[in-house]
Amino acid sequence: MAGFFKKIASAFVELDSSSPSSGAAVDTSAAIEAELAALEGQPNATGGAPSQAAQLAPAPEAALPAETQALLSLTPDGVFAEARFTETPASAPRVVKMLAGLAQFPHPQQLAMLRALDAADDSWSESEVTQDAQSRQATLEAHLTRIEQTRQGRLLALDQQGAVAQETRVATLAEIDRQIAELMKLREDAITECANSMASVDREKRELEMATMDARNRTLAAAQQLGQLVAFFSAGGPPPR
């Protein structure tokens, strides 16, 4: 990167001098192009390929529909590819990368450097870059409109799903409450029926005891009379009454 800055600065100094050499400017422009190409091919700051842990980490399950997820996942480069933009020397992203390499210089120097490179290189021009940038900007604005339309449509669908879920909740709870009330009625009926059954049992027990006592007393009285009769004839006691 330091070499890149030196070449840019060298080009600016040479092209800004009183007697520039067109051949030197072209050579410098070609060198800068080669430097840019080399920078574009460098690995990322973390070492290029993703780590094994990153490769093995499971991706979270997407809650959005596939179509919505695909649209919202589009990068600007993806939007440009979808719109069939081609990469040429006059492509705006290429010049954006060049400006990123010139970030340490003031704006007037950046502009002067790019215009010097434009003058030394017939494969692109400032007007072509500007036109490409405006076209890409319009494409991105249209993409933003699609994003907002997709968001609004999905929110509407989610609101409808939420309303249906709420109606289902209310209906389900009402049905559960009805069943609970019915079960409570059955419970009260069971309690009453059980109480009546227990009262009937208690009443029958009392009647059984009373009837048993009466039967026992009658039987004992008859047995006693018979015993007295036996005793009368056996021992000369008083006759039975």
pLDDT in tens, 102-156: 888 899 988 888 888 878 888 888 899 999 999 999 999 999 999 999 999 999 9
Does residue 116 fall inside a structural domain? yes
Does residue 110 fall inside a structural domain? yes
Does residue 80 fall inside a structural domain? yes
Mean pLDDT within 172-196 = 95
Q: What is the spatial distance between Cα 80 and Cα 160, in angstroms, rounded to a whole number? A: 34
2 band by pLDDT with thresholds 50, 70 and 90:
very low
Least confident of 25-29, 145-149, 179-183: 25-29
Does residue 114 fall inside a structural domain? yes
pLDDT of residue 20: 44
Query: Given a cut of 60, is residue 31 above it in pLDDT?
Result: no
| 13 or 88, which is more confident | 88
Q: How many CB atoms lie within 10 A of CB 91?
A: 19
pLDDT of residue 23: 46
pLDDT of residue 1: 44
**What is the domain count for the chain?**
1
Domain extent, residue 127, equals 2-16+24-36+70-177
Does residue 89 fall inside a structural domain? yes
User: CA angle, corner 75, sides to 70 and 79, nearest 5?
Assistant: 85
Mean pLDDT within 203-220 = 94
46 band by pLDDT with thresholds 50, 70 and 90:
very low
58 band by pLDDT with thresholds 50, 70 and 90:
low
Per-residue three-class SS string for the chain: CHHHHHHHHHHHHHHCCCCCCHHHHHHHHHHHHHHHHHHHCCCCCCCCCCCHHHHHCCCCCCCCCHHHHHHHCCCHHHHHHHCCCCCCCCCHHHHHHHHHHCCCCCHHHHHHHHHHHHHHCCCCCHHHHHHHHHHHHHHHHHHHHHHHHHHHHHHHHHHHHHHHHHHHHHHHHHHHHHHHHHHHHHHHHHHHHHHHHHHHHHHHHHHHHHHHHHHHHHHHHHHHHHHHHHHHHHHCCCCCC
Does residue 204 fall inside a structural domain? no
Does residue 106 fall inside a structural domain? yes
pLDDT of residue 172: 97
CA distances 59 to 54, 55, 62, 72, Å, are: 10, 10, 9, 17
Does residue 128 fall inside a structural domain? yes
21 band by pLDDT with thresholds 50, 70 and 90:
very low
Mean pLDDT within 75-98 = 90
| 63 or 6, which is more confident | 63
